[in-house]
A and B are shown apart, each in its own frame.
Chain A
Amino acid sequence: METMNFLITGVGGQGTVLASDIMAAVGLAAGYDVKKSDILGLSVRGGAVIGHVRWGDKVYSPIVPEGRADYLIAFEILEGLRWLGQVKVNGTILINQQKISPVMVSSGLLDYPEEKTVDEALAKTTPNVFKLHAIDVALEVGNSRVLNIVMLGAISSMLSVDQKIWEDVIRERVPKKYADLNLNAFRKGRELVKVNHI
């Protein structure tokens, strides 16, 4: 099969690295060759973070080539916009409807992009855009920190990998006492895309 390319973007502290770890582990458990790469910049919190994950028969480079991402999974709106150029024509975008203002914005030096700008840019990139209220689901489930797992739930519903593989990997990768919370978040995330579809 053609290599499948995922980009996971967000803000440091949103759990993107755990999400890309899980994506890679799921691919491996599903029988693919996988590679992943996280770019963290300085290891100070609150910076932009991007994770590349690739599944395929034989994957060489750990980096998703520019303009060839099949899926952009954005945990934050601005961090979604920033990487639109990486998405391939007719690729799929899942974008959490959460705004986290960078200091340039909160200190009044620049403005956060307006909704119209956001929508136009998304539409220009691909018709397959899913604006997900994943942060609301995470809070509903009980903790904003499971946002990453809600987003994985959403992407999982678009892929052919067995739900059990996802859940086994999640159980393995999260602290034991939060396993149920995370699995709950994952399942709610799976429903999210369908809801948005209708």
Chain B
Amino acid sequence: MKVLMSGNEAIARGAYEFGVKVATGYPGTPSSEILENVAQYKEIYAEWSTNEKVAMDAAIGAAYAGRRTITTMKQVGMNVASDAFFYAVYTGVRAGLVIIVADDPGMFSSQNEQDNRHYARFAKMPLLEPADSQEAKDFLGIGLQMSEEWDTPVLLRTCMRVSHSAMPVEISERKWDDEAKMPKWVRNQEKYVSTAMWAKKRRPIIEERIVKLADVSDKISINRLEWGDRKLGIIASGPVYEYAREVFPNASFLKLGMTYPLPKELIRQFAEGVETLLVIEELDPFIEEQVKAMGIKCTGKEIFPSYGELLPTDIERLTAKAGLFPIDKVLEPRDVTPQNLPSRSPVLCPGCPHRSTFFNLSIKGKFKNLVIAGDIGCYNLGALAPFYATDSMGSMGASFGVAHGFDIAGIHDTNQKVIGILGDSTFFHAGITPLLNIVHNGGRSTMVILDNATTAMTGHQDNPGIEKSLSGKGVKVDIEGVVRGCGVQFVRKADAFNVKAVDKAFEEALAFEGPSVVIVEGPCFFTGDFKEDPYEVDSERCTACGVCFRLGCPAIARSDEVYEKNRKRKALIDPVLCTGCDMCAQVCTFSAIYTTATDKK
């Protein structure tokens, strides 16, 4: 039977069909839906771990224990997890372990554009690159088997266009005996205790393994020759293969599903069989450089850029320029879209609890002389209009560390104070260790934790701060308790929906001579379920002062009505979008915003 499935759904289905028993991960676009879908299969234990490194270690442990396991993450999650998978390549695994990473060429929702195929070569583990949903599912099965046969973790690399595209996928039932007993663990220190003296003995095994895997790569069915017109031969993998196939329907192809180690014999055979050899790949010349190192002449990055996506239209235009595609068949871009259309960049949603923080810390607000280090999450939107509130943002948990860096470099000498801001899930992910560091080393930064009781930006996954886990009931860890346990003496909590209370907490924390923490509490609108009656603007009272616009709320628009004294447009509230969070009523100095649920002020 065929069912429409996205790449992420197909991987989850593969986990079910191929007998995976344990699945861990940390949410991150475009990978998040894998684990969410895995959780629907009761045969598989699935959890959101606190970060990718924790997820990876847990997955390695589960594979040691003898259960088929997957772990999932977005591209930058690999950096966090890297410390773990390097040792797993040495120790090997007992049951299949497939690491699934979703890359983001084109940077749709990431801070960088790294090509994670390098990690396979770096850590010396095999790499599989599915081109579509069907392959995503099939390759997971191949990867699990390869992992068991060769005693190594296997990297399965998708990208946004595989993860978020859908096609009909052939599905079947679970081929696994779930009643089979858990195998007993037998101590084997020389293999699993990766201390130098034993790891050294494992070291040559890894080299031998990767050489033998190159033979596998030559024979495996997912690396295949597709002979067509011999004038042009194209080596491609992942979704780029699909794009190139569409642009060059008659060319010869070497379609690679396993891209590390590369099938050298197959590549030689292919190169000898075609007149011009082209390597088309998104991001880095990962395949191309290895082909060139074999002494084979080919064209790649001379034509194609090493960044961004390489969509069919790009392939057409760039190969036409190089004389490999008929120039008269290239469609020129149509000049029909009006110039300067207003962008629709993401903004804090109506009812967002983060709004009060950024209203107070806004560039137009009262707090001057602040250096504000931001972090990964919805609250990164505080960097944008109308707040422009933050000075930096780089990676998970970086806010606290970067703030501390400003502090120890002596920023206080310039009369500036430092704040680091992150959210609850990010705090648990990578915020606790920098907090400990600040306390231990006598830092003076103010750290703000925006606790909206969910991992909002990636689609509302659980985290240790709430009572729910992916498999059901979770134990809630108290953030304030953790903060105090880290040795922070000055802790203030503020209600996110009380703009003045948030302001007061910031003021007190900034005045404190030592490390201070403010926890701003208020649930995400989408998990909090607090929709109240919409507010209205009393246009007679509105003086078009514009203070409510500074909240950057999508529900507050400019009215066509103009206030005669300043000739500015008054405010208007969209009753469909307004959630009744009350913040605009709190900041309105003319009491012009009210709700019919209570009385006019």
A binding-site residues for B, Cβ under 8 Å: 11, 21, 24-25, 28, 33-48, 59-63, 65-68, 78-79, 81-85, 87, 89, 101-113, 117-118, 121, 124-125, 144
Which chain A residues border B347 with CB–CB below 8 Å?
44, 46, 103
Which chain B residues border A61 with CB–CB below 8 Å?
239, 242-243, 245-246, 311-312
Which chain B residues border A66 with CB–CB below 8 Å?
311, 313, 331, 333
A28 with B168: CB separation less than 8 A: yes
Which chain B residues border A25 with CB–CB below 8 Å?
4
With A60-B243, A121-B338 already in contact, the answer to whether A41 and B346 are too (CB < 8 A) is yes
**Selected contact of A24 from candidates B4, B109, B316, CB within 8 Å:** B4
A65 with B312: CB separation less than 8 A: yes
Chain B: CB-nearest residue to A144: B576
With A44-B378, A67-B313, A87-B334 already in contact, the answer to whether A60 and B245 are too (CB < 8 A) is yes
Return 30 A-B CB contacts under 8 Å, by A number.
Answer: A11-B344, A21-B166, A34-B168, A35-B167, A38-B164, A40-B108, A42-B346, A42-B457, A44-B348, A44-B378, A46-B346, A47-B344, A63-B312, A65-B316, A68-B331, A78-B341, A78-B344, A81-B341, A82-B337, A87-B336, A103-B347, A103-B552, A104-B345, A106-B554, A106-B556, A107-B549, A121-B336, A121-B338, A125-B336, A144-B576
Chain B: CB-nearest residue to A25: B4
B457 with A43: CB separation less than 8 A: yes
Which chain B residues border A107 with CB–CB below 8 Å?
385-386, 549, 552, 558
A104 with B342: CB separation less than 8 A: yes
Which of A60, A79, A125 is packed against the most chain B CB atoms within 10 Å?
Answer: A60
Which chain B residues border A110 with CB–CB below 8 Å?
340, 342
B109 with A41: CB separation less than 8 A: yes
**Selected contact of A102 from candidates B164, B332, B344, CB within 8 Å:** B344
Q: How far is the CA of A19 from the CA of B246 in the complex (A)?
A: 25
Which of A61, A65, A82 is packed against the most chain B CB atoms within 10 Å?
Answer: A61
Which chain B residues border A65 with CB–CB below 8 Å?
246, 311-313, 316, 331
Instruction: Tell me if B188 counts as interface (CB < 8 A to partner A).
Output: no
With A24-B4, A84-B337, A112-B342 already in contact, the answer to whether A106 and B166 are too (CB < 8 A) is no
Which chain B residues border A111 with CB–CB below 8 Å?
342
Chain B: CB-nearest residue to A17: B164
Q: How far is the CA of A33 from the CA of B246 in the complex (A)?
A: 14
* Whole-angstrom distance between the Cβ of A109 and the nearest chain B Cβ: 7
Which chain A residues border B132 with CB–CB below 8 Å?
35, 62
* Whole-angstrom distance between the Cβ of B37 and the nearest chain A Cβ: 15
Q: How far is the CA of A24 from the CA of B332 in the complex (A)?
A: 28
With A62-B161, A65-B311 already in contact, the answer to whether A39 and B108 are too (CB < 8 A) is yes
Instruction: Tell me if B2 counts as interface (CB < 8 A to partner A).
Output: yes
Which chain A residues border B4 with CB–CB below 8 Å?
21, 24-25, 28, 34, 36
Chain A: CB-nearest residue to B386: A107
Which chain B residues border A33 with CB–CB below 8 Å?
168
Q: How far is the CA of A48 from the CA of B340 in the complex (A)?
A: 16
Which chain B residues border A46 with CB–CB below 8 Å?
344, 346-347, 349, 554
* Whole-angstrom distance between the Cβ of B321 and the nearest chain A Cβ: 16
Instruction: Tell me if B426 counts as interface (CB < 8 A to partner A).
Output: no
Instruction: Tell me if B557 counts as interface (CB < 8 A to partner A).
Output: yes
Told that A40-B164, A44-B347 touch, could you supply 5 new A-B pairs with CB distance under 8 A? A24-B4, A62-B161, A63-B161, A67-B334, A81-B337
Instruction: Tell me if B459 counts as interface (CB < 8 A to partner A).
Output: yes
A37 with B457: CB separation less than 8 A: no
Which chain B residues border A11 with CB–CB below 8 Å?
344
Instruction: Tell me if B381 counts as interface (CB < 8 A to partner A).
Output: yes
